Structure formats: structure tokens, C-alpha cells
Chains A and B, each alone.
Chain A
Amino acid sequence: MLFKIAIKNLGKSIRDYAIYFFTLVIGVTIFYIFNALESQTVMLNVNDTTHEIIELMNTTLSGVSVFVAVVLGALIVYASRFLIKRRNKEFGIYLTLGMSKRKMSGILLIETVVVGILSLLVGLIIGVVISQFMSVLVADIFEADMSRYTFTFSKESFVKTCIYFGIMYVVVILFNTISIGKCKLIDLLYASKKSEKLKLKNPILCSIIFIISAVVLGYAYYQVTVNLYDMDASSDMIKVIVMGSVSTFFIFWSVSGMLLTIFTRIKSVYYRKLNSFVLRQFSSKANTMVFAMTIICLMLFLTICMLGTAFSLSQSMNKNIREMTPCDVNLEKKCNMTEDELEDYENREALLADSKVSIRETLQQNGFDVDDKLTDIVEVNTYEDDNFTMGDSMGDIINDMENYYTFIFAEQKEMIMKLSDYNKVAKAYGKETFTLKDDEYVLVADFASMVEVRNQVLKNGRNASIFGHELQSKYGECQDGFISISSNHINIGIFVVPDAVVDEGAVSTNMLIANYRADNEEDGDAIEKELQSMLKRMWTVDTLISMESRRYVTESTVGLGAMITFIGLYVGIVFLMASAAVLALKELSESADNVERFMILRKLGTDERMINGALFKQIGIFFLFPMLLAVIHSVFGLKMANLVLETFDTGSELGSSIVMTSLVIVLIYGGYFLVTYFTSRRMIKG
């Protein structure tokens, strides 16, 4: 009997709350797909670099999954709570008929279990299907061998999804039982008759609070963008985040009152068609869910920032990569090391001896024929002057830089290169070469914020004392360039000086830049493998040569880009769904009240078109508002992300990433909006 009632109830409400069911299904699907990535990628036939990245991705994904589960869990609990509220009358009738609360909880239990099992089943089936496409995509991104297609089913992900969602449903059941236990018959029966007292706020107070919140928000924006460099790391950041969140809350608290104050004064708009009705509807709803709107707005904000940054990051990384890896391999070794520097190593003697010879010699001695395997070889040195540190070259500004960047300190010696050496590298890389007079130097850098600071320093004075020579910068600002291949612009500054200036005894590193002598990719791969395994074997035993290769940088970057995109999409989609679902459910659950209101409008003879227009506007404003504030937040959030991630030069890719982000948002958020509108429209038709 209970089962029959429960099933009938489900059938009755399935049309109205289909959106809830679909949210559950999509939640399950997404959860499965991203957790299934792990077992799919483990089986891929990829090289070591990619493997490391994949491992990192999988660990991150499973960590993120816990977070995602909490968000989805909160959504489910929230949704089921106000779905129960809508059914007060039904429960009231059960109680008057003498049904025990235990049996009522039983009905809810059966309903939750049925919905849970159904959503899990449908979600998992869709998840398994979609993850087949995902594995093709993943293989493509990681350039794995997909010559033989295999159907992948992730048992781990399956079990994990079942367990996580199982826990969520158990929590829901507990909440339901508690709320049933607490309810009183009189409240249940007269819940709908209780005229909801409109929470009215003083419009003047609202306006004042709105303005204050806007000012505080503006200050927070200022802090994270213009003033970012002056902030002391995390504690200031937390302050700004709290400021932003609190003012967001108060903006939602005051906005309806403020809008009413404004629009009731613009009478030609307010008393046009159903505008007064729409605005009042919005304000009564906004007043009852200030907190939820705040959370939704912040989630949307995070989503936009995450998606935007993820897309622009992976894109700019992929773009930088071609520019930043103009040769196959970079080898680098520290020269003239002292006993003290090698304190931590066991094989001190050998390393000490090795640091006195060139990279070429080390390789030749160990059976790697440099001229046979490599071509376009450029061998250069970099130098250091004990009396020319970053503190010396940059002056007081170094203190600020030390606070902001962990890798910069005043005692650090500046990197110096001979003009002839630098020009050799620049020629090999196809970059600009320089000519200098005897008392000139040129500063080469490409790390954006360092360039900015260095330019500031150069503006104040172009003099530098290097190896006892008084030199003058040839240019008023830094010149673009680099000598080490890497995934992005990280050259914080090289002082290129006339050859005569340099003290040959002060060599700091020896570098060997080359291409592989190979006719095709495979041969190149073979040389890379040989060199890599050799250096790995010799590392800290015979030598301290470090290696950076185009292949390695490319693979790790592409992998990293893919990982960032995946995680961005994963969390972004879940957040978007959760936010949109809460708004949709709130709107639909209120449609019961709205039926009456729209009925009145109909009796007054309002045109059907006008009614639909009002409904559209009402739901539209409700959906648009948190999004609007989130977008404003995001403008500054993304700006800050760009400043923080400036080594990646994300700013240049912002345009296309905004398009991608908007596409995802319009698809998901817009989809929820349309479904809500059409469902509501059907409901108010009565």
C-alpha cells in the first residue's frame, strides 16, 4: 500500500519536477565520466612524461570529486527539503486519516530510494556511453595510441559513484525523517492558507545598504586588480574575499527594495503592462532567498573564473609552446662548484671534477657522440659577478619583489652573458641579435611583471657596475628574449655585456643548445630517449647536467592544459547545474502560488501573450540577477587571475576563452532557464 502511494506520488509530480530528476541524472553522469577518466587513462599507451601528468590529473580529479560530491549533496538535500514543503497538504491528509509518522517517513523513503535508484541507473548508463567518446578525446589529447578501440567500463568509478550518491540519498532520507517527525498537523493543513507575510524592507535603508555594499565591492575589486602587488599574500586575500562575499550578500538583501524605490518613481515604466506585477514578484522571491542567491552568485562567479582561466590557460600554453621551444634540447650544468655547494651529495669528488669540464666533454666521456647525434650545436656560458646581485641592480624595489615572488631574493646574483654567446643563441632561435659599444649592456627579459619592474629601474638610471666596469644600458627598456626553452615566459633578466667585460673565471653555468640529428620524429625520439636515460643514470652520481627538451615541454604542457581544462569543465558544469537547479526548483515550487496569481490576471482579462511575457520576464530576471553580479565579479576575478598567471600570458587568449565560457554557460544555464520557463508556463495554464 505504502509502495503504491509512493509510486503514484512520483508519477504525479514527475512532470513538474522532471528538472530535478534530470539534474540528478546529469550529476551522476558527470561524476561517473570524470572518475572513469582514471581507469581509461591508466590503460593508455603513452610515454613517461604524459604518464606523470595523467597521474597528477587523476589525483586532482579524485580530490575535486569529493568537493563536487559535497556540492551535489547540498543541492539534493536543499531540493528535497522544499519539495517536501510543497506537499504539506498531502501529509496533513495522511495524518488526519490516522497514518503514523513512521509510515509517512516510509513513503518518503520509498520515493527517495526509487528516485535514487532510477537516477543512478539512468545516469550511469548515459555516463558509460559518453565516457566512450571521452576516452577517444583523451587519447587524442595525450597523443596515445588508439589503433585498437576498446570498450571501457570503469568498475572503480561505477562503485565510487554508487557509494557517493548512496551516501547523499541516505542523508536526504535522514533529513526527510527529521522534518516529518517535527511537523504538526495544524501547520500542515493550513500551510497554504497562512497568508505569507511579505517581508517588507525600508526602501531608504535598502538604498543606503545597497550603495554601501557597492562601494565596499568596488574597493575589493580595486584591491585585487590595481592594488594586487601591494597585498601581503594570503591574509589580505582572505580579507578581500570576505569583503566581497559579505557585500554580495547585502546587495541581494537590498536590491529588491532599491529597485522598487527606483521603479515606483519611474511611473511610465512601472505602470506599463504587467511591469508592477513582475517587479513585485521578483522582489518577494528575492527577499525570501537572499542567502541562496548569494551562494548561487558566488558559485557562478567561481565557475566563470574557473572556466575562463582554464580555457585561456590551456590555450595560451599551447600557443606559447611553439614560440618557446625553438630547438630540440637544452642541456645545462653548473660550473666551478665548491665543496660547500655539494655538501648534500655523496659523490662529491666526481661531481666537483665534472663541474670543471664542459657538457660536451661529459657527454663524450660517457659514450654519447655529440657531433654524431646532435646538430646545430651552440655552446655558451653564463656568468655571475659576486658584486652584482639583484639587490645591486634593482635597488629598494627588490624588497617589494621579495615579498611578492618566492623565487626572488636580494642576494641572488644577476645572470650575465657575453654578447657573442647571446647572439649565437639568438641566431639559433631566430631572435633579434644585438651590437654593443664597449661601455654598453643590454638587458634581456620576457617575464612580464619583471620586465615592468626592470623598466622602472632603467628609467631611474641606466648605469650598472659589472665586473668592475661601469656600463650603460643601450636601451631605455628591457629587450625581449630568452635562452632556455620552457613552457612559458620565465626569463627574469639576463645582462648581455661586451665580451671583454666578462671575467672568464666567473663562469656560472655551461649550456648546450642543439637539435637532434634525425630525419624523422621517430629517430629524434630515439635520441631523446638515449640522452634522457643516460642523464638519468648519471644524475648526482657523475654529473649534474639538467635537460629540458622540446618534446618534454610540449607533452607536459599539452597534458597540463588538458588537465586544467578537464577539471575546469568538471567543476564548472557541476556548479552551473547546481546553481541553475536551485533557481529552477524554487521557481517551479512557487508556481503553485503563481497559478492563483496568474489566474487573477486572467480573470481581469490580461492577454495570454502579456501573461507569458510577464512569466518570461519574471523567471528571466530571477535567473539573470545572480548571473549579472557574478559576471561583474568575474571581470575583476579574471583580471586578477591574469595578473597572477601572467607568466602564461593568459590575457592574449581571453577573447576566445570568454567565447568558450559563455558557450558552456549559455548551454547549461540557459537550458535550465528555458526548461523552467516552459514547465512554469504549463503549470500556470492550470
Chain B
Amino acid sequence: METILSIEHVEKYYGSKSSLTKALDNVSFVVEKGEYVAIMGASGSGKTTLLNCISTIDKVTSGHIYVAGQDITKLKGNSLNQFRREELGFIFQDFNLLDTLTAYENIALALSIQNISKNEIANRVNQTAKELGIEDVLNKYPYQMSGGQKQRIAAARAIVTDPKLVLADEPTGALDSKSSKMLLESFRYLNEGLDATILMVTHDAFTASYASRVIFIKDGKMFNEIMRGGRARKEFFGEIIDVISLLGGDVSDAL
């Protein structure tokens, strides 16, 4: 198996010497190609900080993050941007679609900033749209779409560049349960059908149960890790709930 993401002893501190907050405290794990990993934790547990560090939006205090063998904590300036647009795909809780562009143009933008030719753009956008079943909304503007449609457009935008790693930050956070389910089915297709590697941050057990592995974080530290193996999703969901109750106290509001 090829290692896509390798996190080694990552620490992230906020604040000054007098009042230090350890947002991430010695976190290490590895994501292999084709994996679908969910990171769970309560709000304030450090899961979004971790995602920001992987996506190079934030910088680690110490430790290393390797994506496809490349140490991204050493990247600077435009090579950071290049890394982001070529190796990563993003999906955010609040979609982050450009409201002035149509769905098609939003997806195409991820390609046009890589200076890809228009024919190639058209091929890849249409291909991706077909796979995610969003062809009929391609010419709509974000304000004309439902939340679920928007998030699937965002997913298409994330995957269209054929990234090594797709990062999703609370992708179902702003969706109702029906849209969530549809989006998660799409994610499953991305993972199983297109062999995309997905790292998803969520505090929702149902969302996490679609993943193949769930990592729990508490107070900036890795707390637990469970694998789905060959089990059915419902069974896996049960185990996730068990861990959450084990985490106890403040994490129960994660449900």
C-alpha cells in the first residue's frame, strides 16, 4: 500500500508563554491510498486545527506532515499554493462556492487556475458531474441550489483536479439528514468507485460511520482509533457511539 498522508509528532500551540494552549499534542497517524478516514472529536478538541495544518492553511509548531512523501511543513509561498491546487481537494462546511459563478464555472475554476486547456476542462468537469449526478444543476448559481446540491458541487470541485488527498471539514454540518445521506453516498462513490483518499473531520457519528476508519481526538491528543473492517455500516455506527460514550462528559454533545 502506498502512504498518502503521514503525520509525525505534530504539535500546535496557541497563545503566549504565560497562557499556552496545546491545540495539537503529539499527534501521529498514517493514511494509506484509497482510505476513507474520519476524525472525530468535540468542538475545541483540535480536529479542525489538524485539518488546517494538513491543508497548509495553518502551520504546525513542531513535527512533520508528509503528503505523498513530500514534507509540506517545509513548503513556502507559491509552492504552498501549488501543492494545494495540485495535490489537495477541499470540501468545507459552508460550501465555499463563489456566489457569482455557476456550478460549472465553480468546478472549472479549480482546473483553470492550473492553466489546463478549455477542452480538457470541459471533459473533466462533465465527467465528474456525471459521476456525482449533478449534471442538471451545472448551469445554476449557488443561490438557486439546495444545500445538498451545493455540497456535491463542492465535492466535484474537490475531486475534479484528481488530487492525492481530499480533505472535508464537517461536510454535512450545514445539511439536513436527507441531503447528508446523499452527499455521503457520493463520498462513498468517490472513495470506492474512483479510489479517492478522503480525510474527513466531523463530530457527527452518522457521518463518521461511512468512513473505513475513525480516529478520535480529545484535547489535542489521539484518544482512540477504530477500523470498520468488513462490517456493515450500522454495526460500525454502534461501535462509534460506544467510543463516544467512553469519551464521556463533554463529548456526548458531539452526538
Contact = CB atoms under 8 A, between A and B. Distances in A.
A12 interface: no
A597 interface: yes
B84 interface: yes
B15 interface: no
B112 A276 contact: yes
Contact of A604 (B78, B90, B122): B90
Contact of A607 (B81, B100, B110): B81
B105 A280 contact: yes
B101 A605 contact: no
A273 B112 contact: yes
A273 B84 CA distance: 16
A283 B105 CA distance: 15
9 shortest interchain CB distances as A-B pairs:
A605-B85, A605-B84, A280-B100, A267-B118, A600-B96, A606-B113, A271-B112, A271-B118, A268-B118
Interface stretch (A195-203, A349-357, A663-671, A674-682): A195-203
A608 B109 contact: no
Interface of B: 55, 57, 77-78, 81-86, 88, 90, 92, 96-101, 105, 108-113, 115, 117-118, 121-122, 141, 143, 157
A609 interface: yes
A287 to B, nearest CB: 10
A274 interface: yes
A607 B114 CA distance: 9
A239 to B, nearest CB: 39
Interface string A596-632: 0100111111111110000000000000000000000
A423 interface: no
A283 B98 CA distance: 14
B108 A198 contact: no
A605 B118 contact: no
A272 interface: yes
Given A197-B143, A200-B141, A268-B118, 13 more contacts: A267-B121, A268-B117, A273-B112, A274-B113, A276-B105, A276-B108, A276-B112, A277-B109, A600-B97, A602-B81, A603-B92, A605-B81, A605-B113
A198 B81 contact: no
Interface residues of A, number: 31
B143 A604 contact: no
B108 A271 contact: yes
A590 to B, nearest CB: 12
A284 interface: yes
A283 B85 CA distance: 26
B109 A274 contact: yes
A603 B84 contact: yes
Contact of A605 (B82, B99, B121): B82
Contacts of B143: 195, 197-198
A196 B99 contact: yes
Nearest to A266: B118
A281 B109 CA distance: 14
Contacts of A283: 100
A286 to B, nearest CB: 12
Contacts of A273: 112-113, 115
A600 B122 contact: no
Given A267-B122, A280-B105, A603 B57 contact: yes
Given A267-B122, A271-B112, A603-B90, A277 B84 contact: no
Contact of B77 (A272, A274, A597, A608): A608
Given A197-B143, A198-B99, A280-B101, A274 B112 contact: yes
Contacts of A284: 100
A353 B188 CA distance: 116
A609 B78 contact: yes
Nearest to B121: A271
Nearest to A198: B141
B98 A277 contact: yes
A97 B156 CA distance: 43
